[in-house]
Structure 1
Amino acid sequence: MPELPEVEVVRRGLVNWVRGRTITGVDVVDPRSVRRHALGPEDFAGNLEGATVLDVVRRGKFLWMPLQEDGAPRSTDAGTSGLPGVALMAHLGMSGQLLMQDGSVPDEKHLKIRLRLSPAGTMPEQLRFVDQRIFGGLFITTLVPTDDGGPGGTAEDPVPVIAEEASHIARDPLDPHFSFDTFYRRLRKRKTGLKRALLDQGLVSGIGNIYADEALWRAKLHYARPTDTLRRADAERVLAAARDVMSDALAAGGTSFDSLYVNVNGASGYFERSLNAYGREGEECRRCAAAGIRSILKREQFMNRSSYTCPVCQPRPRNGRW
């Protein structure tokens, strides 16, 4: 599943190609990829044709494109004057790809949806949604006001509305409006393990299994550390580590262990070469090795997934929780 840096890589690429362009045609090649649009493929296509893409917005791992209807002023359906009321939501799932292609390029094997866009210089005229495993999809959603009055997410032109399906998602550590005080207060009320809390998208969004392991390794904290005993300095350290590791991943173009995941132009990420914990079972801990200590990273089962830790610099707490 793509994590925050992968989705942000897609957002940054996509906005350069589609912002300000009008959707002139829609081909739903596989209706399964619009199953989240309750009114079906024909309604999906009919509502998109003639709409203009105003921006590309991300909160956590959620991605959407606010729309302006053909020839109409910006809708006030969201309850905020002058702001768009609907958006095209993209759920990438396990293998979803958003690819910009020229019309002359043959269809991809797993093409599901094709959006034809208004001409814009030498830019490709099609946005294609390709998905081998069919866990993802596109659908039209309503925009609603944010509960804190701040921007809905990361965007070129941030506005205080958010896709309804993402309204329950907390802000992510890279969001300028993220409140550490709110995060820490809610974290201390939980009686669970630290990694489980970091994966709770209602507490802090965008941190998935890979980056949780990397942040915990950088912060020298074990995933089972009880949240209700976590000191403020420890919480600040792990959030700073999460910001750093995700910023590094963004600079590298994301993390891709699966050839099915690519960014909007079709290029795989390569941050996996810089991982210090995740996937390194049986290898030496680089931090310990630099200090002249031999320590071998281990893998443990965690929530039907895996966690990778160093037994020396990330000792398991005696009162640890899952």
Structure 2
Amino acid sequence: MPELPEVEVVRRGLVNWVRGRTINGVDVLDERSIRRHALGREDFTGNLVGATVTDVVRRGKFLWMPLQDDADSYGPPAVALMAHLGMSGQLLMQDDSVPDEKHLKVRLRLSAREGMPEQLRFVDQRIFGGLFVTSLVPTDDGAPGGLAESPLPLIAEEASHIARDPLDPAFSFELFYRRLRKRRTGLKRALLDQGLVSGIGNIYADEALWRAKLHFARPTDTLRRNEAETVLDCAREVMQDALAAGGTSFDSLYVNVNGASGYFERSLNAYGREGQPCGRCAAAGITSAIRRDQFMNRSSYTCPVCQPKPRRGRW
């Protein structure tokens, strides 16, 4: 499933193409992809046709496009088009001349702009993702709802329950650390808790912990302040590195808005490298191989030498 860097790559691509453009038409080819819009196809289409996309916003893995009607153009946007990518959802900017993809689910026809594709297409092979219109509500702290070009203190209602992510300028380490210390769980479980810190998934949790030299089972209530700062700094670094590489693509299901794959998979130090040498240990002349452990119906990858398992751990 796409994690924060992959969704941010999509956001950055989308904003260049759709910001300020009006939705002139909507084709719903598979209603399963708008199932989260409880009022159905007609209401979904009615909310979109004639609306102008004012921005593209992301918090954690959540992505939304605030919409403005001409009648309400003097006030802040009240609704947004939410995009949930799921396991295989793709948002692609394409020209009318490009044939429909096999798994095309929803097509938005945009107002013309010279040199830009006319359509935003939602493609989803496994149909775990989808699009829906949601309300925008004020943020609890009065800060912008997420990363955007023109930040507003509004957030899509379905994203209002999640914490800020490490790349958010309004992220508070003090709040994160206080909440972290109150958790009686393992460190990786805490990093995956979207109510504590959003946007970190299985891949980047393993990579951040490897960089921080911390084991995934380290009890959170034993974590010192400097260790918490280190693991957050490492999470930021690894996600910024992934952004620079266009995200992590293990197959053709994750692509950016132009259909290109990311290349951060080539830079992974721990995730998916079971049995391969630990690069840090090898550089120090130490023989060690990456280990895989079962974790929450998934896997965790660590180096048993430079990420020693704690005597008292919580998985």
- Same-fold call, TM cutoff 0.5: yes
How far does residue 122 in structure 1 lie from its aligned partner after superposition? 1.4
1:245 corresponds in structure 2 to: 238
Counterpart of 2:142 in 1: which secondary structure?
Answer: coil
Q: 1:162 aligns with which of 155, 158, 170?
A: 155
**Distance apart, 1:70 and its partner CA:** 3.4
Q: Superposition pairs for residues 144-183 of structure 1, below 5 Å?
A: 144-183=137-176
Give the letter for the 1:50 counterpart: G
2:78 corresponds to which letter in structure 1?
A: G
Name which of 96, 121, 128 aligns with 2:114. Answer: 121
* Residue identity matched to 1:40: G
Aligned pairs for 1:1-322 within 5 A = 1-74=1-74, 82-322=75-315
Match of 1:222, as an amino acid?
Answer: H
Cα distance in 2 between the residues matched to 1:10 and 1:29: 22
What TM-score do you get using the length of structure 1 for normalisation? 0.97
1: CA distance, partners of 2:106 / 2:204: 31
Cα distance in structure 1, aligned partners of 2:42 and 2:97: 25
Corresponding letter in the other structure for 1:284: P
CA deviation string 1:231-278 (max 9, x = no partner)? 001000000000000000000000011211111110011100000000
In structure 2, the residue matched to 1:78 is none
The sequence identity of aligned pairs, in percent, is 84
Equivalenced residue count is 315
Offset, 1:47: 1.2
* Matches of 1:308 and 1:66, distance apart in 2: 38
Moved over 6 A (4+): none
Structure 2 length-normalised TM: 0.99
Q: Distance in 1 between matches of 2:281 and 2:107?
A: 50
Give the letter aligned to residue 305 of structure 2: V
Question: The residue matched to 2:287 in structure 1 has which SS?
Answer: coil
Q: Which amino acid aligns with 1:9?
A: V
Distance 2:68 2:78 in 1: 8
CA distance in 2 between counterparts of 1:104 and 1:296 reads 50
- Write the distance in 1 (CA, Å) between the matches of 2:188 and 2:73: 45
Two-structure CA RMSD over aligned residues (Å): 0.6
Counterpart secondary structure, 1:256 = coil
Residue-by-residue CA offset, 1:202-236 (whole Å, 9 max, x unaligned)? 00000000000000000000000000010001000
- What one-letter code is carried by the residue in structure 2 that aligns with 1:147? D
2-structure distance, mates of 1:203, 1:243? 15
Look up the match of 1:79.
none
Amino acid paired to 1:45: T
1:77 corresponding residue in structure 2: none
Letter in 1 for 2:292: R
SS of structure 2 residue aligned to 1:204: coil
The gaps in structure 1 that reach 5 residues or longer are 75-81
Q: Give 1:71 shift.
A: 4.0
Q: Partners of 2:253 and 2:158 in 1: how far apart?
A: 25
Measured in 1, the distance between the counterparts of 2:73 and 2:13 equals 27
SS in 1 for 2:72: coil
Structure 2 stretches lacking a partner, 5+ long: none
